[in-house]
Every structure is written in C-alpha cells, then in structure tokens.
Structure 1
Amino acid sequence: MAWLFVIVGGLFETAFALCLKASDGFSKLWPTLGFAVSVAISMGLLGLGLRDLPVGTAYAVWVGIGAVGTAVVGILYLGDPATVLRTAAIAMIVGGVVMLNLAGGSAH
C-alpha cells in the first residue's frame, strides 16, 4: 500500500506542476486552487508512503514520477520540444529511479 501512496502522490506532483504553470504566477484562481489542493494531496500521500518505505527511495520515486510526468505532458500537450537530449534525460530519470529501487534497503 505504501508504494501506491507514493505513486499516486507522484501523479499529483505532476498535477501541481501543471496547475502552477496554468496559474500564471498565482494570478488565476482555479489553477491556483488546483495547485494548492494537488500539493496537499501529493505531500500527504508521500508522507503516508514514508511510514513504511526508505526516504531516499520513496522520495526519488515520487520526484521521478512528477518530473517525468510533467515533462511528458509538456511534450505531448503543451508544445515543449521533444528533442533527443530531452528524451534521453527522461529515460535517465526513469533508469535512476529503477536502479535506486532495485538497490533496496530498509526504512529502519
């Protein structure tokens, strides 16, 4: 269950990044509220996941999901460039998170 919290929290991290962009410097009400709600949910779920998971691994997965999710949405829907270097960087983030997870470790 802890991994589910971290994964869903990472998806909300993507949501808060996209809402932050849409808020135009917190000048638009609904994206700003979406940002605030998404941050609260994302952090809350990460906190629940950290009850049972090592902080370094859980945080890396959470951030990785948020970073990759935001980059992919930016490329697919917001017109961000899909360069070879950007794609390679996304792949390296995924690879790094996978390797950190495979390294294991105990939370206690």
Structure 2
Amino acid sequence: MRDSTYAWLVLAASVLAEVAGTMALRHSDGFTRLIPSLITGLCYTAAIWLMAVSVRNLAVGLAYAVWAGSGTAVTALLGIILFEESASLLRLSGLGLIISGVVVLNLSAQ
C-alpha cells in the first residue's frame, strides 16, 4: 500500500475515533459517568495519536483541515440523527459548505 493511501486511511480512522469520543462525551454527563468518560478519553487519545501518524505523510495543514471539517460534519449529522437536533436549512447548508471545503482542499493538494 502506498504511504499516502495508508496516511489517508489512518486519518479516516482518526476522524472516526474523534467522532466516537464526542458521542461518548454526550453520554458522560459532564464526566460524571465512568464508562462514557473513559471511552471519551481513550477515543480522543487515539484520535490524536492517529493524526500524528497520518501527518508523517500528509501536509499538516491539509490533514488538520480535513480532520476538523470531516469530524464536525459527521458529528453534526449524528446529532441530527441520534439526538434529534435541528435539521434546519441553514444548518444543512453549513454542513454542505464544510463538505465542499474538504473536497476543494483535497483537490488543491493533488
């Protein structure tokens, strides 16, 4: 597997770990519940470690922008789906802009 392909897969795993940590954070009740709190810490630790591994072969600015944008978009979508958060036209438009920005950043890096 090419180094850049591996780096992108590791970055995707980092995004998933960050999103899982945020979902656990929602259930930690302000870090008063042990298991969700531990899951939050472990997932965030894994997300940062995986990000560090991915930037060995990716530009740090690009990797961070993709990580932050993707994590934000996925977390917001899960909030809408799982926690019945608002799905207003303005919110969905913002998510579309985040996703578009991530795509443009990827295209510009190539």
Question: Does structure 1 residue 65 correspond to structure 2 residue 70?
Answer: yes
Tell me how far apart the structure 2 counterparts of residues 74 and 24 of structure 1 sit (CA, whole Å).
16
Amino acid across the alignment from 1:89:
G
Amino acid across the alignment from 2:42:
V
Alpha carbons 1:6, 1:45 under 8 Å: kept? yes
Amino acid across the alignment from 1:70:
T
The residue aligned with 2:105 is 100
Tell me how far apart the structure 2 counterparts of residues 103 and 89 of structure 1 sit (CA, whole Å).
21
Identity %: 38
Tell me how far apart the structure 1 counterparts of residues 34 and 70 of structure 2 sit (CA, whole Å).
26
Question: Does structure 1 residue 6 correspond to structure 2 residue 11?
Answer: yes
- Could you tell me the TM-score, scaled by structure 1's length? 0.93
Q: Output one character per residue of 1:13-57: Cα deviation in whole Å (capped at 9) or x when no partner.
A: 111111111111100111101101101111111110000000111
Match 1:20 to one of 5, 11, 25: 25
- Could you tell me the TM-score, scaled by structure 2's length? 0.91
Tell me how far apart the structure 2 counterparts of residues 51 and 3 of structure 1 sit (CA, whole Å).
11
Question: Does structure 1 residue 29 correspond to structure 2 residue 49?
Answer: no
The residue aligned with 2:89 is 84
Q: What RMSD over aligned residues (CA atoms) do the two structures have, in Å?
A: 1.0
Higher relative contact order (CA 8 A, sep 6+): 1
Unaligned runs of 5+ in 2: 1-5
Segments of 4+ moved more than 3 angstroms: none
> How many angstroms does 1:88 deviate by?
0.5
> How many angstroms does 1:99 deviate by?
0.7
Amino acid across the alignment from 2:102:
V
Tell me how far apart the structure 2 counterparts of residues 72 and 12 of structure 1 sit (CA, whole Å).
16
Count of matched residue positions in the alignment of Structure 1 and Structure 2: 105
